[in-house]
Structure 1
Amino acid sequence: MRGIPPAGGTDSPAHARRSADELLALARGGDGEAFRDLVEPYRRELQVHCYRILGSVQDAEDLLQETLLAAWRGIGGYEERASVRTWLYRIATNRCLNLLRAGARRPHEYAAYQPRIPLPEPSYRREEPSWLEPYPDVLLDEIADRTPGPEARYEVRESISLAFLAALQQLPPRQRAVLVLRDVLEFRAGEVAGMLDTTENAVTSALRRARSALAHELPDSGRESAPLPDSPLERRIMDDFSRAFEAGDVGAIVAMLTDDASLSMPPLPLEYRGPDAIGNFLATIALRAGRRHVMIPTRANGQPAFGCYRRDPGTPILHAHGVFVLTLAGDRIAALTRFVDNSLLAAFGLPRSLRD
């Protein structure tokens, strides 16, 4: 069977005027353009759904394409017992679960990442590497802009924050899927049971366990909330952090941290907690004598972020040095997350190198 048309192709005026029922009928008859128009409204939210479950932007995009291909191939058997959106979520969720069960995550070339200089002893070590990757806000905006009201848009961003995603990745895959479907996407228990081929009681039980585990993993809910995106306070914090990091001013960065701040570097399963531990890491590793950086502002997971570039002494070349994401609490920084995989910069529209 021929492949489905790619997203972003030439819109068909005739299709644009057709109802969902008409598009469905045409798609069942083999009209690929009608199928694209039918599923296009759900493309980005399905990718974000896969990202929440898998924690990887690239894996999420791969699974989105698999989902749409499976839907195209199976459109003739779609019985309309659920909406098209619910049907697509069923396919996407089960594809994600199958990938996690098989342990078939794509190989990560940085899995064996070893820093050239021995790192200070961390405050905490996880048993496994963290495969969580940052999600560019430029993609998230496509969903948030369609969500009515500021509260709903805020909830979209909260449900993709790094703290929430990191906690979510600690849950067993099925609990992870149930919690996202019920608490984030607000599908009914019966709908989720149908998606997962199980009972409502099983869904309710999995949700209860997932909520309990998530409450244990998430940071203190009493922490002061972050400033609004692109607010004067957020911009000031970003400017101050960027200025201090580029100058190698460890003391200025430490002064911006909360008392319980943390620094992590996915996929490395280690974490530095508290201003003293973070300051020592910055002074001895990231910002040790002679290391200078340029920080390019961007946004990830609804949070302020930077593409980080390290100066090459004696040349005008700046080399990629990961992606930094800041988690803010009030007017302080509660977490620094540096993603060490330089290939992630491409998702933010940033190059692997710059000229000074």
Structure 2
Amino acid sequence: MNDVDEVAFSGLTEQHRRELHVHCYRMLGSFEDAEDTVQETFLRAWRKRDTFQGRSTFRAWLYRIATNACLDLLAKCRPEPAAGGEVQWLQPYPDRLLDEVDGPESVAVARETIELAYVVAVQHLAPRPRAVLILRDVLGWPAKEVADLLGDSVNSVNSALQRARAGMREHLPAERQDWTGDPDSDAETRAVVRRFTEASVAADIPALTAMLRADARASMPPTPGLRLGRDAVVGDWIADGFDTMTGLRALPTAVNRQPALAFYHWNKAEGVFLPLTLDVLRITGGVVTEVTTFHADRFAGLGLPESLPADGSQ
């Protein structure tokens, strides 16, 4: 591809930007790190364009470069999940950007492999088994192609896949098999989100408590500390003074194929509601099983308003 100019080459690579970004995000757990790694991928691709001989598709060639760029980053600065199991570098991925991946590649953003719990579980795997799992189980690559990408034997890839699957079973929620995306559950989920929103704005702790499953969990990346069990989650909310908070507004959104609520807090000095936190909910069987809370610095990257007016318009 030496005879391709930079503009034409950029056009070829840009077609795959979003799906490569999702791939790097799944590998790294960080939206921002994924953004940097995709840029590195395109830079490497341009520099190595003469190595593309057409033996595989251009898309597969880019995935090879992106995967190796992720592995290189993990080798340089691979963080470890905290003692409690939470991933402090975890960042959310807006559904509006996931929707940009369509056609045959849409399998790459299937709900079951982009939800936060799945991304968290992946972060507990060593880098190479992580890559094998994503390439084989998420993208559906044959073992031979994965082996070629990683410079391993097929036997080595199959062994790594088995280890990775075992690791995922250890770290995924017990009800993993219930994540079917059944449209019949949408109405129930919307009802739970609506009640959770109303109770949160009212700081109604008893109502929120009633919506949590007994083994519910909560985390707030990058703040350390995983709350396990309804009592621990509610106790933390009370300790933070949430039960007395007023002046909240909530804006429904969606990240990682999960319902989410962007909370804004009234600022009297500026006369507007300013970003506070983003709560991402995992709902199973009509109850909230996990709340992952992100700080206000995530709002801009998610395309959320920088403020909400006092009159309730948006």
Partner of 2:129: 175
Aligned partner of 1:349 among 299, 303, 313: 303
Are 1:133 and 2:91 an aligned pair? Answer: yes
Sort the Cα spacing of 1:38 and 1:177 in 2 relative to 1 into closer, same or farther, 3 A: same
Q: Work out the CA distance in 2 between the residues paired with 1:93 and 1:142.
A: 21
Worse-matched range after superposition: 178-187 or 304-313: 304-313
Counterpart residue type for residue 172 of structure 2: L
Q: In 2, Cα distance between the equivalents of 1:90 and 1:153?
A: 18
Show structure 1 runs of 5+ residues with no match.
1-26, 106-123
Of 297-306 and 65-74, more deviation after overlay is shown by 65-74
SS at structure 2 position matched to 1:126: coil
1:287 aligns with 2:242: yes
Query: Which aligned pairs between 1:75-94 and structure 2 lie closer than 5 A?
Result: 75-94=49-68
Pair 1:328–1:154, CA change in 2 (3 A): farther
The 1-side partners of 2:2 and 2:202 are apart by 60
* Distance of 1:215 and 1:72 partners within structure 2: 39
Q: CA deviation at 1:277?
A: 1.8
Paired letter, 2:275: A
Aligned counterpart for 1:44 among listed residues 10, 15, 18 = 18
* 1:124-168 deviations in Å (ceiling 9; x for gaps): 95277521111000011112x4249xxx76971211011100111
TM-score for both structures, normalised by structure 1: 0.79
| Alpha carbons 1:272, 1:278 under 8 Å: kept | yes
Name which of structure 1's ranges 249-258 and 39-48 shifts more when overlaid on structure 2: 39-48
Residue 55 (structure 1) aligned with residue 55 (structure 2): no
Output the CA distance in 2 between the equivalents of 1:70 and 1:129: 29
Contact 1:168 1:214 in 2 (8 A): yes
Q: Which amino acid aligns with 1:193?
A: A
Percent pairwise identity = 41
The aligned counterpart of 1:111 is none
Query: What is the CA-CA distance between 1:233 and the residue it aligns to?
Result: 2.2
Alignment of 1:75-154 (within 5 A): 75-103=49-77, 126=84, 130-143=88-101, 145-147=102-104
Check 1:322–1:222 CA distance in 2 against 1; reply closer, same or farther (3 A cut).
closer
Report SS of the residue matched to 1:288. helix
Larger mean CA deviation between 180-189 and 124-133 belongs to 124-133
Per-residue CA deviations over 1:87-132 (Å, capped at 9, x if unaligned) read 1111000101111110188xxxxxxxxxxxxxxxxxx952775211
Tell me: CA distance 1:52–1:155, structure 2 relative to 1, closer, same or farther (3 Å): closer
2:207 match: 252
Cα deviation for residue 35 of structure 1 reads 1.8
Aligned to 1:305: 260
Name 1:120's counterpart in structure 2.
none
Name the counterpart of 1:14.
Answer: none
Match of 1:197 among 151, 154, 161: 151
Unaligned stretches of 5+ residues in structure 2 = none
Looking at structure 1, the residues matched to 283 and 216 of structure 2 have their Cα atoms a distance apart, in angstroms, of: 10
- TM-score (ref. length: structure 2): 0.89
Conserved? CA contact 1:228–1:234, under 8 Å: no
Change (3 A) 1:174 1:234: same
